[in-house]
Structure 1
Amino acid sequence: MAFLQIIPSASASASPSSSLPHNTFSFSLNPKFQYSTRLNIFQRRRTNSKSLLLRCSASSFSEKHHTNSPKSDDVVELPLFPLPLVLFPGAILPLQIFEFRYRIMMHTLLHTDLRFGVIYSDAVSGTADVGCVGEVIKHERLVDDRFFLICKGQERFRVNKLVRTKPYLVAQVTWLEDRPSASEDTDLDGLADDVETYMKDVIRLSNRLGGKPEKEVGDLRRNLFPTPFSFFVGSTFEGAPREQQALLELEDTAARLTREKETLRNTLNYLTAASAVKDVFPSSSS
């Protein structure tokens, strides 16, 4: 397996509520995977008792992630599903549910609005305050009462307080939306184009290091507006969930794209150096 280094941007220390270390993040690539214009660029599997697979493609990220968008000052109660991953608006999340308390949650959701909160949690940083709604768009109930779900990321939310902890978490939340950029001169489309260019270069060099043909990378943006495109880019940063969480929490599209641009530029510099070493010492590359 080939490993890249996703290198945090210089602004990492300023991330909202996520204290990110100033080191590199492992970004793994499946050597059997071939990049395409849909950019299904990651697969993630949990190593604990839950079976989990996360895929994402640019075509999943519609210009509008939902209809009848809730107002940002609405306060609602939302069941929460803590997971060691970050769900972004527009992303597709397959889940297999077999833990008893979450089977109970699913029975409830299937009789209500099919929406629950996916929120990042790990043993080091605990449970985040900002998450993303996962809406069940397809489900299958198995014979042993397990569920297989296909969910799609919808609105982001911030947890105000927990209102119940058993049999599963339920929180009072408010909705989170990007604010207009502070500078009226910010060229969001230009930033998005720069990010796409860096992504293409990263894909090209990572394919080369992985021994794959250096094919021309197609359209990654697929006519997405800057905000959904920024979420799509963040969803591709596999192996760096704390960096993804920081991106999810940002409330400024320009700031999110700028941070992603810096991260991809640092990653490209790393790949360029690794490629040069491979050219000089081809037998030492793996």
Structure 2
Amino acid sequence: MTEIALFPLSSVLMPLSRIPLQIFEKRYVDLVARCMRENEGFGVVWLQQGSEVSGGSLDLPDISQLGTNALIVDWDQLPNGLLGISIEGRQRFAVESVWREADGLIKAEVLLDAPPGKVALPNQYDGLAEVLKSLLRHPQVSQLNLPLDFADGWTVGFQLAQLLPLDESIKHALLGVDSLEQLLEELDKLLREMSGEEPA
């Protein structure tokens, strides 16, 4: 069991993927400073409904019990003066217990999965890698400087799940998939539906 700080977001973070964050609450500014100083991460969990702003309350938000451990890979001061960071998902975790500290920061005891290992992308899913390559041409995506490996199935699957315009509930379901074959199959099906194609 591992104790980590949690950062509830309205977005799901996939392993091997990156998202930008804008930090403005003091508890998270302090968390980011500590993580950068000590080279440690924090947990990202999907905020399923409502707001995470505590307003001094010790009540816990409605968060998912499945999350992704994240590391800060870049930071900058944004034009609005706030702190901007880029985080990269490393491995999934299951939340076992959760509580709110006096400063409002949420912490949890979690069970960490092993980071996804390298598995060759099956030939029948080469089209998914091509879709990912096309998404990477978008300026906002290219700025993320994603760790690319088009031959690795988990990298292609998780990054595609992160970047596609899917409902967060669907992304959360994809995060929970344990089989690479199932993840790629679900993504292929979703892409066919988005393009109006009949299922194979």
Same fold (TM over 0.5): yes
Describe how 1:102-181 pairs up with structure 2 within 5 A: 102-123=28-49, 126-140=62-76, 146-166=82-102, 167-177=104-114
Q: How many residues align?
A: 171
Alpha-carbon distance in structure 1 between the residues aligned to 2:113 and 2:35: 22
Kindly state the Cα deviation for residue 162 of structure 1 after the two structures are TM-superposed. 1.1
C-alpha distance after superposition, 1:239-274 (max 9, x if no partner) = 411101110111111111111111111112269xxx
Kindly state the Cα deviation for residue 188 of structure 1 after the two structures are TM-superposed. 5.3
Kindly state the Cα deviation for residue 190 of structure 1 after the two structures are TM-superposed. 2.8
2:122 corresponds, among 189, 200, 204, to 189
TM-score (ref. length: structure 2): 0.71
Kindly state the Cα deviation for residue 148 of structure 1 after the two structures are TM-superposed. 2.0
Relative to structure 1, is the Cα distance of residues 145 and 76 closer, same or farther in structure 2, using a 3 angstrom cutoff?
farther
Kindly state the Cα deviation for residue 79 of structure 1 after the two structures are TM-superposed. 0.6
Structure 2: gaps spanning 5 or more residues: 51-60, 136-147
TM-score (ref. length: structure 1): 0.52
Give the structure 2 partner of residue 206 of structure 1: none
Describe how 1:187-266 pairs up with structure 2 within 5 A: 189-196=122-129, 199=131, 223-266=150-193
Kindly state the Cα deviation for residue 101 of structure 1 after the two structures are TM-superposed. 2.0
1:90 corresponds, among 16, 25, 35, to 16
Contact 1:161 1:171 in 2 (8 A): yes
Identity %: 22
Matched to 2:21, the amino acid is L
Kindly state the Cα deviation for residue 194 of structure 1 after the two structures are TM-superposed. 4.6
Matched to 2:74, the amino acid is K
Larger Rg: 1
Relative to structure 1, is the Cα distance of residues 103 and 77 closer, same or farther in structure 2, using a 3 angstrom cutoff?
same
Matched to 1:174, the amino acid is L
Kindly state the Cα deviation for residue 223 of structure 1 after the two structures are TM-superposed. 3.0
C-alpha distance after superposition, 1:76-122 (max 9, x if no partner) = 11111001101112222221211122123223323323311111113
Relative to structure 1, is the Cα distance of residues 223 and 109 closer, same or farther in structure 2, using a 3 angstrom cutoff?
closer
Matched to 1:223, the amino acid is F
Alpha-carbon distance in structure 2 between the residues aligned to 1:117 and 1:178: 14
More strand by share: 2
Relative to structure 1, is the Cα distance of residues 162 and 229 closer, same or farther in structure 2, using a 3 angstrom cutoff?
same
Alpha-carbon distance in structure 1 between the residues aligned to 2:168 and 2:34: 29
Kindly state the Cα deviation for residue 146 of structure 1 after the two structures are TM-superposed. 4.3
Contact 1:178 1:250 in 2 (8 A): no
Matched to 2:128, the amino acid is V
Contact 2:65 2:94 in 1 (8 A): yes
SS in 2 for 1:111: helix
Relative to structure 1, is the Cα distance of residues 179 and 222 closer, same or farther in structure 2, using a 3 angstrom cutoff?
closer
Alpha-carbon distance in structure 1 between the residues aligned to 2:16 and 2:190: 21
